[in-house]
Amino acid sequence: MSTGARRVAARVAAAVVMATALCATAHQRLAAGTLQPAGTSPAVSAAPSPGGGSATGPGTSPSPGSGTGSGAGAAVVARVAGARETVVSRRAVVAEGAAGRRTVDCRRVKCVALTFDDGPGPYTGELLRHLAAHQARATFFVVGQNVAAHPSVLRRAAAAGHEIGNHTWSHQDLTKLSAGAVRAELARADRAVKAATGFVPALVRPPYGAFDNAVRTGIRRPLVLWSVDTLDWLHRDSARVARVAIRSARPGGVILFHDIHPTTVRAVPRVLKALSRRGYTFVTVSELFGGPPPRLVYTGDAPPRH
């Protein structure tokens, strides 16, 4: 055999030995769970932190503050359901227990609260499907009369993990009512919600965003207004509603919609897709604050009567 042939044979033999060693190492790592097969994404562990938020496992790096960073860890989220975890979305580590409760640390990720007034109505079921498709939570400020007319829809909303707030029984301006009439409006709506869901709402949104000192001191629950008014009740234009919501969304914001309008419900998928691409997590009002909100959430700009 010539010298050149011997060199080629030696190189082939060395390559075979190296390939055999690499294969053995790969099989060992796969068996140990330290090597992911091609085409799979590693799950990221999530555990509640001592402060009540969520702590991320190795490989994650949610950005501080508004969460506008774009590290590799920000692209993967683990949803914890009991002892199992699966990758479900981006930007936020969401820990969820067996009862459907979840923990979102909005100090570390970009959160926005979508809120829907005046329902439930004939289009709320479709809205719930849109929200479920994006694993989005929302807050529904419901009118008692509509709860009595659509109790099964409200039960579905509550079962899906959405938050339910009191929007009075008949949508009257509370600043024009006596203290007793204000209490009656809220109490009657509370009874309707409890009959449908088994619980009394912890939050109140006054109709039209109208309140004064008497209303504020007389209601012993947080008054939740908004930071963005889509004016969807005035402009029945799905494209416009979506454009306003997307353009105006900010971390920590509360966006006002009305799910009694079909044009609003048709706008929601576009809002969810656009804000998801921008890294937002859709949370309830209480999740936004990591627990009970303050006595007054935003001041709102009361729109004209509708």
Confirm whether 258 is a catalytic residue. Answer: yes
Q: What angle do CA 138, 110, 295 make, to 5 degrees?
A: 60
235 contact partners, CB below 8 Å, separation of at least 6: 241
Known catalytic residue at 190: no
Catalytic residue among 130, 171, 258, 261: 258
Choosing from 117, 118, 229, 259, the catalytic residue is: 117
**Distance from CA of residue 255 to its chain's centroid?**
12
Cβ neighbours for 69, distance < 8 A, ≥ 6 positions apart? 61, 62, 63
Q: Are strands 111-117 and 139-142 parallel, antiparallel or unpaired?
A: parallel
Q: Which residues of 62-101 are buried (b: 16+ CB within 10 A; e: fewer)?
A: bbeebbeeeeebbebbbbbeeeebeeebebbbbbbeeeee
Q: Which residues are catalytic?
A: 117, 258
